[in-house]
A and B are shown apart, each in its own frame.
Chain A
Amino acid sequence: MSAPTTRRIEFIAVAVIATLLIVVFPLLNSAGVISNFTLNLWGKYLCYALLAISVDLLWGYTGLLSLGQALFFSLGGYMLGMHLMRMIGDLGQYHKPIPDFLIFLGWTELPTFWKPFSSFPFAAAMVILLPGLVALVFGFLAFRSRIKGVYFSILTQALTYGGSLMFFRNDMLMGGNNGFTDYKFLLGADVRDASTQRALFIATAVTLVLVYLGCSWLSRTKLGLIQRAIRDGENRVLFSGYAAAGFKLFIFVLAALIASVGGALYVPQVGIINPSEMTPDKSLEAVVWVAVGGRGTLVGPVVGAIVVNALKSWATRAYPDLWLFFLGGMFVIVVLFLPGGIVSIPDRIKMWWARRADANAATSAPVAP
């Protein structure tokens, strides 16, 4: 198959899935065919798919296994969460105009840094700015000193760990252990209302499709070529005159933004954000999705995020004690036996088939007179 045909097939597939997600599912939901619960669950999966794409952009395409994506995802979630907390108004348990946990900590007035979050545009801007800034500073330092491979993984793990330690503290004034929950309104609509949730689902689906198309375009640009060249031979890239650090920084910040937007969409749909979303383990879990789906492709992370999480939803209910065994085992097995992930299965079957045919031809030939 030539490149243009595969691209056309890809385009048609994306168009079909996009219509399904953006138009058909919400319509079926308002008609009552798909339950609110199911739609909400899928909304969550799509947010995870965004997180998975951000992991794959770094790991699959650039060879940087970042364990910091959960941090960026939660930072985005926290930024929008702050706005949602402000929108509770005085409907909290204490019926005061500031969030309950602040009252609990003995505050009577809103801390200054909380004030601008009453504005949605500000919170939305912070979803982009804060994780972007963190990624920019950390990435600049890490890539400047040429930290790569497992070192990069370890440092990003430490970054996430440090972040979660910070958010677990009450003095951070970000809700401590419990984080933010009990949201009431978003842009004037009741968050728990089915129609709001449907709108959020559509927003997530649209974002996912746009991110998918954007990344797919990116991978075809010359920058995409350099990105993969860095993955396969970073030193060679330097000797071709490219400042690899700058390219990695660009991708790292971009991936942080994708994760952060995913997190911001995730929070109103799930209704809670707390520091347990920020741990290195969550990052690694997202890496599992990518590994299971198939890294180095864009379909892989989406498929992986949905499949693994659907499996998780089922398994944590059916076998709550065994889920972690399952997750751990799945990881080992995929890494050992299916490095290409689910999306590589058709190719594998094709290859296996071809080899079998060859072998048959070879064995039958000498027998013939």
Chain B
Amino acid sequence: MNFFNRTVRLLAFAALTLGFVAHAADSARAIIAKAALAEPPAQRIETITSLLGSGDESIAGLLAAWKEDALFVYTAPDGSKIPVQLFGDKDDQDSQTATRVDSGKPILSSAGKSLRLVASELTAVEHTSALRRAMKAVLDLLDLSTPDLKKRISAIQTLGFAQDAEKLAALQARQKIESVPSAQLALREAIALIELKDASPEVKLASLKELAALHTIGSADALKAALADAEAANHPSLAAAARLALNAVDSHLTTVNFFGTLFRGLSLGSILLVVALGLAITFGLMGVINMAHGEMIAVGAYTTYVVQNIFGTGLALSPFGFSFHIPGMNTGGWLYESYFIFALPLSFLSAALVGIAMERTVIQWLYRRPLESLLATWGVSLFLQQFFRRVFGSNNVQVSSPSYLSDNWTFHDIIFGWNRVFVIGFAGLIVLGVWLVLTRTSLGLLIRAVMQNRNMAACMGVRTERVNMLTFGLGSGLAGLAGAFLSQIGNVGPSLGQSYIVDCFMTVVVGGVGNLPGTVVSAFGIGLADQSLQQILLNPVLGKITVLVAIILFLQWRPAGIFVTKSRSLEG
């Protein structure tokens, strides 16, 4: 019975496709115009149905207008009937511009002016429920043929997940002409999913094999249902095939999760890396962890926010009760989107300046008292946080990603956000840059000299004060850059720095003092461990705690990575 049904439908569809091919010369508009005029109405259905499988963009609008009684038949002075649509503002006589359905162009009067008609004086083209059903069928399949690949694939998937046997024919027809491989895959999946509902066990079995071969993540639910059905129907071979397919999907899912985790871990690691690099440099130099380093991240992120607003409509701030307005440039399009390119160097600069100011006012007096400077920098951190709150408000501010960072690639179901890819790539560049600065420039030489032996360097005539200042600026600037990245991935708020700083400290501790390669390894190690534990434990908090415990245990095993013992004087 069902099989018979299917054959009939297939045949009907074949006929229709042939019909469609016959009409190929006519545009979709012309067909709809023809349908609007068709007599008797039964023929309308047939004509509309002939649009099945067409991807023309005008169809959706016209059919919607038809259903809303906004498609009219205008009888021209010469008696010919023209289907029209009315557009534009109504004037005082309620008239609007009339557009021909078949061409989409305004009707021109003999004087060459566009014709204006009044809706209430025209008769709307009728539609019956059977016709509306036919229209829906056309609309359903419309997206199957749209030239927009993403839209097409998502339409195919929607049809597949619905598992509606009626849509099978359309999908199969599309399969014949589809040329893009990813859409082909989606079609195979959708067809297999629909066939999974087929009554015949052979068809089911074949579709299960197909699904096992495709092992798409989306098919898991349908497969589970099929497995349950097969078990209920006591059909062992089907159940086995379903299990096989499910296993294939599961193992694929594991792979996808694995690589997804790897990717997220890498991007988190990259951010940690950029922040921790700055921390490692300042730490290596002055032997103290700058507790306000996290606030340097926030300085960078807020700078990005300010730059974005200046490119946009401007920024109203009301710090300490004064309110002032930074006018915007009201740019749009690509110029607006390029704000991020400008924000990157500016966030580096602003954080570097804040860092230098901090070094001059507070830290330079505390070089030999690491614990005290830890405390003083915490004071600065409190100060800055409150400052952000007063200037930018205590809530998160909105930083929108430019379009070139907000999309993603999907590769074998693994989603690669462009923002994260960008962060990874840029972190690589920064590491390279820092390495070059430290090894190839005279500043780098001085920094390393001071790091190794402050007194000796001072004796050799190195102006350690300047080196301190610049190093501190460099370290803080790196944190600022990280802040600009973070603004693309997470929220920007006054306590932004606080949420990353503990991880950064850990990175530096595990990596070892002033040991840049160590910092790189530990940043990625911690980033990956964090993300994979979150994945495994399904709980971000437990994941974090496990990482902390792991770090403490790690230090049991390799405390030596941290301590540099100097030979002659006892207390290094």
Q: Which residues of the other chain, A, contact B372 by a CB distance below 8 angstroms?
A: 335, 339
Q: How far is the CA of A236 from the CA of B571 in the complex (A)?
A: 8
With A145-B559, A157-B505, A235-B571 known as contacts, the answer to whether A331 contacts B551 (CB < 8 A) is no
Check if A327 sits within 8 Å of B382, measured CB to CB: yes
Q: How far is the CA of A229 from the CA of B288 in the complex (A)?
A: 22
Give min CB distance, B496 to chain A, whole Å. Answer: 15
Check if B379 sits within 8 Å of A330, measured CB to CB: yes
Interface-side segment among B254-262, B348-356, B383-391: B383-391
Partner pick for A236 among B378, B509, B548, B570, CB 8 A cutoff: B570
Q: How many residues of B contact A (CB 8 A)?
A: 42
Chain A: which residue is nearest B375 at the CB level? Answer: A335
Query: A142 contacts the other chain (Cβ, under 8 Å)?
Result: yes
Q: How far is the CA of A288 from the CA of B502 in the complex (A)?
A: 20
Check if B552 sits within 8 Å of A328, measured CB to CB: no
Q: Which residues of the other chain, B, contact A24 by a CB distance below 8 angstroms?
A: none
With A145-B556, A158-B506, A161-B548 known as contacts, the answer to whether A325 contacts B371 (CB < 8 A) is no
Query: A332 contacts the other chain (Cβ, under 8 Å)?
Result: yes
Give min CB distance, A298 to chain B, whole Å. Answer: 19
Query: B380 contacts the other chain (Cβ, under 8 Å)?
Result: yes
Partner pick for A153 among B374, B383, B385, B562, CB 8 A cutoff: B374
Query: B21 contacts the other chain (Cβ, under 8 Å)?
Result: no
Query: B381 contacts the other chain (Cβ, under 8 Å)?
Result: yes
Q: How far is the CA of A150 from the CA of B279 in the complex (A)?
A: 13
Q: How far is the CA of A158 from the CA of B545 in the complex (A)?
A: 9
With A158-B506, A324-B386 known as contacts, the answer to whether A151 contacts B562 (CB < 8 A) is yes
Q: Which residues of the other chain, A, contact B385 by a CB distance below 8 angstroms?
A: 324
Check if B370 sits within 8 Å of A331, measured CB to CB: no
Q: Which residues of the other chain, A, contact B386 by a CB distance below 8 angstroms?
A: 321, 324-325, 328
Check if B570 sits within 8 Å of A150, measured CB to CB: no
Interface-side segment among A162-170, A203-211, A249-257, A355-363: A162-170
Q: Which residues of the other chain, B, contact A144 by a CB distance below 8 angstroms?
A: 556
Check if A65 sits within 8 Å of B371, measured CB to CB: yes
Query: B24 contacts the other chain (Cβ, under 8 Å)?
Result: no
Q: Which residues of the other chain, B, contact A332 by a CB distance below 8 angstroms?
A: 362, 376, 379-380, 383
Which B residues from 346 to 366 make CB contacts under 8 A with A? 362, 365-366
Q: How far is the CA of A339 from the CA of B509 in the complex (A)?
A: 27
Check if B379 sits within 8 Å of A331, measured CB to CB: yes
Q: Which residues of the other chain, A, contact B378 by a CB distance below 8 angstroms?
A: 284, 328, 331
> Which secondary structure dominates where chain A touches chain B?
helix
Query: A42 contacts the other chain (Cβ, under 8 Å)?
Result: no
With A146-B559, A236-B570 known as contacts, the answer to whether A154 contacts B552 (CB < 8 A) is no
Give min CB distance, A297 to chain B, whole Å. Answer: 16
Which A residues from 127 to 168 make CB contacts under 8 A with B? 138, 141-142, 144-147, 149-151, 153-155, 157-159, 161-162, 165-166, 168
Q: Which residues of the other chain, B, contact A33 by a CB distance below 8 angstroms?
A: none
Q: Which residues of the other chain, A, contact B213 by a CB distance below 8 angstroms?
A: none
Query: A246 contacts the other chain (Cβ, under 8 Å)?
Result: no
Query: B162 contacts the other chain (Cβ, under 8 Å)?
Result: no
Check if B552 sits within 8 Å of A141, measured CB to CB: yes
Contact with B along A316-343 (1 / 0, CB 8 A): 0000010011011111100110010000
Q: How far is the CA of A339 from the CA of B373 in the complex (A)?
A: 11
Q: How far is the CA of A57 from the CA of B124 in the complex (A)?
A: 90
Q: Which residues of the other chain, B, contact A335 by a CB distance below 8 angstroms?
A: 366, 372-373, 375-376, 379
Q: Which residues of the other chain, B, contact A162 by a CB distance below 8 angstroms?
A: 544-545, 548-549
Q: How far is the CA of A150 from the CA of B369 in the complex (A)?
A: 11
Check if A328 sits within 8 Å of B383, measured CB to CB: yes
Contact with B along A231-246 (1 / 0, CB 8 A): 0011110010000000
Check if B541 sits within 8 Å of A169, measured CB to CB: yes
Check if B289 sits within 8 Å of A150, measured CB to CB: yes
Sorted from nearest, which 3 A-B pairs have the closest CB atoms?
A331-B379, A328-B383, A328-B382
Residue contacts A-B, CB under 8 angstroms, 20 given = A65-B375, A141-B553, A141-B556, A142-B552, A146-B559, A146-B563, A150-B288, A150-B370, A150-B371, A151-B562, A154-B506, A162-B544, A165-B541, A233-B571, A280-B502, A324-B386, A325-B383, A331-B382, A332-B376, A332-B380
